[in-house]
Chain A
Amino acid sequence: MNPIFKHGPSAQHRLVIVLMLSGLLVFFDHKMASFEGVRGYLQSVVSPLQYIANTPKQMTIWAAENLVTRKTLMEDNQALKANELLLKEQLIELEIVKQENERLRSLLASPLRSEHKKMVAEILSVDSDPYSHQIVINRGANDGVYEGQPVLDENGIVGQILHVGTTTSRVILITDLSHAVPVRVMRNGTRLIASGAGRVERLSHTHVSHSADIQSGDLLVTSGLGGKYPEGYPVSTVILVRKDESRPFAQVLSKPVADIDKLRYLLLLWPSKPSSMFAPKPQTRPIQEKNNASQ
């Protein structure tokens, strides 16, 4: 404890060493992507901090859920019951359509769609860095989460898994600047790329020709072309189409259907095989197995 006689290297030397180290880290992490394993490990190391940071929110949610009046509970219960009735009716209809679809698909000799394995995850913390859109969820390698796995909420696609830790993992949202989803217009099948714009309520579409048939209000669903996202899940609705002939491409903007800034519960999907229509055709399986898969 004597500031006059210092030990070790001077502050300047330390700064230079540390800056060189950061430069190396940036290079290896960003350019070479060789730190995936290390990142997963670091993610597991800091997960206690994330759980601690999440407790105040968890407690307020707990309090809000426990301190409700009997009247609101009964009202909720009634609304849910009515809702359940409607959903059940739709489910019966869906079962019939599913069976019919399967029969038609087997007639056409196209690959059958099997059920995806699903798991519910909860958000632990929202990234506070304004430059990237990421969230942390409470599922990790212990639950079988893998990198690149699609993440949904009840409305549509939210993002995909970026780094996997032991008990937590990091999700990159579709609105992140470095993220893009292959989509198609539900109405007519026009293919587009939906790239993030760094804003929660906006996705942009580049290289759309002026002749493309897109109107504002069109629903965009995943096309399954990238092989990451399963086909047919809603992504966004078109909010603006500007066809200015002096520009090389039409300007198309859309709004994600998932409430990216109000997420709480998410759904993780395990697509059982390459979900694209254009993926290599799987080997034909015996009839028994098909029946098992449909149940």
Chain B
Amino acid sequence: MLANNGIIILFSLLIALVASIMPMPLKVDAFRPDWVLIVLLYWSLALPNRVSVLTAWVMGLLLDVLLGSVLGVHAAAMAISVYISAVNFQKIRNFSVWQQSLIVGVIAALYHLLVFWMQRMLTDIVFLPSYLYPVVTAMVIWPWVFLLLRKVRRHFKIS
């Protein structure tokens, strides 16, 4: 994973982890996009042979530790979401950025529902529509993340 400037991939994932635990005002916090999922989706589309299910699972596990949820919940949801994009990378790559952002929205919604269902089985939480606000932000933010990370990938010649 670390060959061919793979350290940059790791670095981008670490920044995403920090961004997803950074303290924010409560109003903004509800709209915080899933940085880790978005960055993982980009790398799994660009380099599916390097970043896929296993990386996603490890990042999900770190997220579990950072967020204090039951170990394995975010890990499983992240692995499933990234599996979908990694298996269909050839199709998704051919879409325009705006169509991709729709797909990212669907995957982010699936991720949130998976996390919700698993938490629901473990504790008796109730569903609030605000749990799906990050899906909207993820869709809006995808084109910019995509362009930025593509630039990073080309600049450092990560392959």
Q: Which of A1-24 contact B (CB under 8 A)?
A: 1-3, 6, 11, 14-15, 18-19, 21-24
Q: B72 to A25, Cβ gap below 8 A?
A: yes
Contact at B66–A11, with CB atoms within 8 Å? no
Contact check, B69 vs A128: say whether CB atoms are below 8 A apart: no
Are A39 and B48 in contact, with the CB atoms below 8 A?
no
Please, how many angstroms separate the alpha-carbon atoms of A237 and B64 in the complex?
33
Write the nearest CB–CB distance from A45 to chain B, whole angstroms.
8
CA of A136 to CA of B72, assembled, Å = 20
- The answer to whether A6 touches B49 (Cβ under 8 A) is yes
Centre residue among B22, B49, B66, B122 by max chain A CB count within 10 A: B66
Residues of B within 8 A of A42 (CB): 65
Flag if A162 contacts B131 (CB, 8 Å). no
Shortest A57–chain B CB gap in Å is 5
Are A170 and B68 interface neighbours, CB within 8 A? yes
Q: Which of B20-76 contact A (CB under 8 A)?
A: 20-24, 26, 29-30, 32, 48-49, 52-54, 57, 61-62, 65-73, 75-76
Question: Do A131 and B116 touch (CB < 8 A)?
Answer: yes
In the bound complex, do residue B23 and residue A130 qualify as a contact, i.e. CB atoms below 8 Å apart? no
Cβ-based interface call for B106 (8 A): no
**Choice from B49, B57, B71, B126 contacting A26 with Cβ under 8 Å:** B71
A106 to B151, CA, bound (A): 76
Residues of chain B lying within 8 A (CB to CB) of residue A21: 57, 72, 75
Contacting residue for A15 out of B23, B53, B119, CB 8 A: B53
The interface size of chain A toward B, counting residues with CB under 8 Å, comes to 50
Interface centre among A30, A35, A128, A177 (most CB of B within 10 A): A128
Which of B71, B75, B86 contacts A11 (CB under 8 A)? B86
Indicate which residue in B21, B53, B123, B125 contacts A49 across the interface (CB closer than 8 Å). Answer: B21
B70 contacts A14, CB within 8 Å?
Answer: no
The reply on A261 being an interface residue by CB < 8 A is yes
Determine if B9 is an interface residue (Cβ-Cβ < 8 Å): no
A25 to B73 alpha-carbon distance, docked (Å): 9
Q: Which residues of A contact B (CB under 8 A)?
A: 1-3, 6, 11, 14-15, 18-19, 21-26, 28-30, 35, 39, 42-43, 45-46, 49-50, 52-54, 56-57, 123, 125-132, 134, 136, 162-163, 170, 177-178, 198, 200, 261
| Residues of chain B whose beta carbon lies under 8 Å from any beta carbon of chain A | 4, 14, 17-24, 26, 29-30, 32, 48-49, 52-54, 57, 61-62, 65-73, 75-76, 79-80, 83, 86-87, 115-116, 118-119, 122-126, 128, 130-131, 159
Sample of 10 A–B contacts (CB below 8 Å): A3-B48, A21-B75, A23-B76, A25-B75, A29-B70, A42-B65, A54-B23, A57-B23, A131-B69, A198-B126
